[in-house]
Amino acid sequence: MNQIINIDFNKNVDNSKDMNNAQETPSTKKIYKKIFNIQFFLSMLAILIIISLFIYYKISLNNKENFSNLLINNYSITKLYSNHNDNKNGISDEIVPLEPDSIIGVIEIPSLNISYPIFNELSDDLLQTSPCRFYGDFPSELTTNTTNSNLCIAGHNYDNSKFFSKIRQLNIRDKIFLYDISDNKYIYSVIKNYEVKSDDLSPVYDTLTDSFELTLVTCNNFNGNRIIIKAKIEDV
C-alpha cells in the first residue's frame, strides 16, 4: 500500500514539474521580456522628464535672478541721469503716477547676501522677478496726513538662496537697507521674526512701534503659513 502511495505521489510531483515547464515556453519568456523592456523604458522616460524639469526650473530661476540684477543696474543708471537733470531746462517737479512695474528702490540684506530692486506694485508676474511693494510707503513719500508708515514688501520663497527664501534666518537686530528713487538710504533693524496664517493680514495693517516700520513677507512652503519679518527704522 505504501509503495502505491509513494508511486502516485512521485507521479504527481513529476506531473506538476512537467506543467511548470510547459508553462515556461519560449513565447511566454518573450512576453515577460517585452513587459520588462516596457517597464524599463517607462522608468527611464520618467527619470529623464524629472531631470529635464529640474534643469528647466534651475535655468528659469537663474534667468530671473540675472534679470533682477539687470534691473538694478538699469535702475542705478536711470537714477544717475535723473539726478543730474532735475529742474533743468524748465522740467517740472510734478509727481507722475508710477506704473506697476516701475522700480521704486532697492532692498539689501547684508547678512543674507541679497540685493534686489523693488517693484511699485504686487502681481504674480512681477513677484517672480523681484520683490514687490504691496502696502505702505518709503519715509520720503509720507506726509503729515499719511498713516501707512508700515512699508510691506513681499518676495518669493524658492527654498534656496534666491529672493526672500532665507529671511526666516534673520535674527533680532540684523540690518536691512532700503534705498529709494531719490537715493535716500534707510537702515532698519529686525525686531521680530514670526509666522501667521495665510489669511491673517494683521502684519500689514498693524504696527509694533511708533516709528517707521518695514515688514517683509514670504511663504512657508511646508505649512502654507506666511513668514513675517518686522523691522524698525533706526534713523530718518
Would you state the pLDDT for residue 15?
Answer: 53
Instruction: Assign residue 159 a region (left: φ > 0; alpha: ψ between -120 and 50; beta: otherwise).
Output: left
How many CB atoms are closer than 10 A to CB 215?
Answer: 24
Q: Check pLDDT > 60 for residue 86.
A: no
| Per-residue pLDDT tens over the stretch 111-148 | 999 999 898 888 888 888 889 998 888 888 765 455 56
| Per-residue pLDDT tens over the stretch 4-20 | 445 454 555 455 555 55
Would you state the pLDDT for residue 193?
Answer: 96
Nearest Cα residue to 182 out of 29, 72, 51, 80: 80
Mean pLDDT of the chain: 75
The CATH code of the domain at 95-235 is 2.40.260.10
Q: Check pLDDT > 70 for residue 165.
A: yes
- pTM for the model stands at 0.62
pLDDT confidence of 100, banded at 50, 70, 90?
low
